[in-house]
Amino acid sequence: MTLRIDLGEVITAMITPFDKDRAVDYKALEKVSKHLLNQNTDAIVVAGTTGESPTLTFDEEYEMLYCVKSITSGQCKVIMGAGSNSTDTAISSSKKAQELGADAILSVVPYYNKPSQQGLIEHFGAIAKSVDIPIILYNIPSRTGIDMTPETIAFLAKEYSNIVALKQSNANLDLISEIKMLVPDDFALYCGDDSLTLPMLSLGAHGVVSVASHVVGNEIKSMIHNFKAGQVIPAMNMHKILYPLFKKIFMAPNPTPIKGLLSKMGIVENIVRRPLVEVNEAQVLELYDLLDVIEKQLNN
């Protein structure tokens, strides 16, 4: 299948590292970025929900985008989380992302003000008209309070050539079938929940926007490649090995568990911005022990 633009199969929604003063730790940002390259990620999302975007300033987001672009130096694509529940703000952020060289933007369904489907069409249409770079729509009703319908998604995909993909974070797999039946063939669908990656692949998803890829990116990519090559049993076996981690990294509000695990691995400090609170040492050890079990299973 030829896509409008291929942003890769494993896109990592990157955490934002903070220092002990809860300022963005740009030295650790370099460490995380290089770690993700070693995990074979195809693209990095800067300032998404996993990056604690609600507590970042615009200046911090733009500086992070600039830094990650410089650090990765074309080795992977860099996507900016540029959504907002204000259309004007989303347009401004999208334009800045384009100016700073983002390869694409991730634009979330407006939250809290709960627009109608027509409001969503006008919101995303205005963003699409304001920039030339690719746009990934992001539908996550558990956080926004509304669900973008397959019909709305299809309208936007057909009407705007730079709306190229959807990150779908909705466990209702019937909606995946409905979306795939309505959107153009060159429009990419990404799973927004690690544990649903394999089921969504079976319904035509192209890949995943992942949190778990911080630590098992190579394994997720192997699962996707095996499935697409018709090696369904190896893909299923990998899913079964990774599934406990997929669920456990959401034992507490994202990204607190994955940050705790990365801290145990010596990559970042276990620090988040309020109102989030850090996972405790017992939870960190539980995650670390699970990762050790997975590594042993993979090596058998």
If residue 32 lies in a helix (H) or strand (E), which one and from where to where?
Answer: helix 26-38
Region 150-163: mean pLDDT is 98
* Strand duo 77-81 + 43-46: pairing: parallel
pLDDT, average across residues 5-29: 98
Which position among 62, 96, 138, 248 bears the catalytic label? 138
CA distance 141 to 11: 20
User: What is the pLDDT of the chain when averaged over all its residues?
Assistant: 97
pLDDT above 90 (res 43): yes
Q: Among this protein's residues, is 138 annotated catalytic?
A: yes
Give the residue-averaged pLDDT of 41-68: 98
1 pLDDT band, cuts 50/70/90, is low
Q: In this structure, what token pair is assigned to residue 102? A: 């983002």
Mean pLDDT of 135-142: 97
Whether residue 262 has pLDDT greater than 80: yes
Enumerate the H helices of 138-277 as residue ranges: 141-144, 150-159, 173-182, 197-202, 213-228, 232-248, 256-264
Indicate the pTM of the whole model: 0.97
Q: What is the mean pLDDT of residues 37-58?
A: 98
pLDDT score of 83 more than 90: yes
The catalytically annotated residue of 69, 77, 96, 167 is: 167
**Residues 43-57: what's their mean pLDDT?**
98
Residue 167 among the catalytic residues: yes
pLDDT tens sequence across 205-227: 999 999 999 999 999 999 999 99
Q: In the structure, what pLDDT confidence band is assigned to residue 300 with cuts at 50, 70 and 90?
A: confident
Outline where DSSP puts E strands in 82-173. Answer: 104-108, 135-139, 163-168
Residue 252: phi and psi, rounded to 5, are -140, 170
- CATH label, 10-232, candidates 3.30.70.520, 3.20.20.70, 3.90.660.10, 2.40.50.1070: 3.20.20.70
Q: Enumerate the domain spans of the chain.
A: 10-232
